Amino acid sequence: MPKLLVANRGEIAIRIFKTAKKKGWTCVAVYSEADQNSLHLDFADEVYALGPGPASQTYLHIEKVIDIAIHAKVDFIHPGYGFLSESAAFAEAVEKTGIVFVGPSANAMRHLGDKISAKQTAAELGIPMVRGIIAGINGIEEALEQADTIGYPVMVKAAAGGGGKGMRVIHNAEDLSDSLDRAKAEAQASFGNDIIFLEQYIHSPRHIEIQIIGDQQGNVLFLPERECSLQRRHQKLMEESPANFLPDTLRQSMSQDAVNLAKSCGYYSTGTVEFMVDQKGNYFFLEMNTRLQVEHTVSEMVTGLDLVDMQLEVASRMPLHIKQEDIHVSGHAIQWRINAEDPLQNFAPSSGHITHYTTPVQAHVRIDSGYEQNKNVPVLYDPLIAKLICWGVDRPDAIQRLKGALNAFDIEGISTSIPFGLQLLDHPDIVAGHYGVNFLELHLEEILKGKHQENHLKAAAALALHLYLEELKNLSIPHNI
C-alpha cells in the first residue's frame, strides 16, 4: 500500500492520517524536539525526529524533511497547511526525488501561491481587483511613492503564505517605514520569503472564499462559499458555510472566477480563492491559497465530501469522481477555532500542561484536535488546540449547537478562546450575521468588558460563599452546603 509522510504537526497531521489510514495507507510523522510527545505521533506508523530548534530549523527545513522522506521510502508527502504547504521550492524539491507532492504542481504554486503573481494572473483574466501596484517593494522610497499613488490607508502584505502574517494597515507616511520592516521580518520568519507589496485598504469588507478542487485531467470544481469575516489581526477565528448574505448572481460570478483562475495555470488538488465584498456589494480578488485550508471542515460538513481523500486521489492521478452538478449544500456549518490564548491578556499565548480535557459528544458535532489531557502546548508554534465544527439545518440552529458544544468543551491548565467564543455568539450582530472583518476592532472592548464583569461577579459570589461558611463555623451552626 502507498506510504504517506505528513510534513506537519498537530491537528492537521492527525486529520490527514485518519483519512489515509481509512484508505489503508502507511503513515509517517515528523516532529521537532518540542513536539516529542505530540499527539500526532500516536496516529503514525513510523515517526522521525527533525531535531531541536524553531520552525526554521525543523518543519520549515526542506532538506531535513526530504532526507527523512527518502530514508523512509515514502511515496507521497502531504504538507498540511502552514509551514512548507505553499512553498513552490519545497514542491519542486519533492518532485525531483520522484516522491509525489500532495498538492498543486510547483509551477501552479508559483503562479497562484505568490500573491503578486496571482494578482497579475487575475488582472489578465478580468477578475475585479482592489486598487494597488502589483509588484514587490524594494525600499521605503518606492513604498512611499506607491502609497501616495494608491492613497491612504494602504495594506502592507506578504507575497507568500497566509494566516495574517506580514500584514499591516498603514494610515499615514510616518508609520510606513517601521511597518514595512516588521512585515518583512514576520514574512521571512513565517514563510522564508520577505517580499511584500501594497494595495488599497477596504474598510470593513466581508471575507468570502471559494473552495476549489481540480484533477490532473483538467477538471475543476467549486464548493459552496465560506464566510470568514470574523477575524482578529487578520487571523480567522470563526468560519461558516454558506454565506447567507450573498445573492446567487454574486455567488455564481465569484465561483466562476475562482474556477477560471485555477484553470488558467493547470491547477489541480485543493485550493481556495479568496475575495473581499465591500459594503456596496462589489467583490474583489484577494489572493489564492494553494493548499488545504484550516476551515476546509465546514465545506465538508455541508457537502459530505472528504477533501483530503480527494487530494490523495488526485495525487494518485485519478480523475475526480463527481461532477459540479453532484455538489449540493445541506444545512449550515460553523467552525470555531479553539486557541491556547488569554483574551483578557491581549490574547497572549497560553502554553503549558493540559491538566483536563473533555470534549462534547453530540450529533452533528465534529472535533479536529491536536491535543488531549496531559499533553503540553509548546510556545514555538501556532496556538491552535482544536477546531470545533457544528452543523445545523440552518444558521440559527448551527449557532445554538455550537454554543452547546462550547459549553461542554472543558480544557484546564491553560487559557483558551472557548469563553470568548461564547461571549461572541451572544452578540446580536453575530447572531444576525451583520459583521465584517473589522467587527472585533470595533467591538472587542465591549465584549471583553462583559467578560471582565462576569469574572468579577464569579469572584464576588465565591468570596461571599467563603465568608458565609466561615461565619457559620464561628457560630457553630451545622450547615449542609
The set of catalytic residues is 291
For 42, which DSSP code?
A: G
Report the distance separating Cα 158 and Cα 438, nearest Å. Answer: 20
Cβ-defined contacts of 59-63 (< 8 Å, 24+): 59/7, 59/8, 59/9, 59/30, 59/32, 59/83, 59/84, 60/84, 60/192, 62/87, 62/89, 62/90, 62/93
Q: Using alpha carbons, select from 39, 34, 81 the residue that is nearest to residue 380.
A: 34
Upper half-sphere CA count for residue 60 (Cβ side, 13 Å): 17
3-state secondary structure of 185: helix
Look up residue 342 and give its three cell numbers: 488569554
Cα separation, 248 vs 373, whole angstroms: 45
Q: Could you give the count of Cα atoms lying within 13 Å of 184 in the half-sphere of its Cβ? A: 16
* b/e burial code for range 85-109 (CB count within 10 A of at least 16 → b): bbbbebbbbbeeeebbbbbbbbebb
**Dist. CA 270–CA 51, nearest whole Å:** 30
DSSP bridge pairs for 388: 336, 367
Inter-residue contact 387 to 345 (CB < 8 Å): no
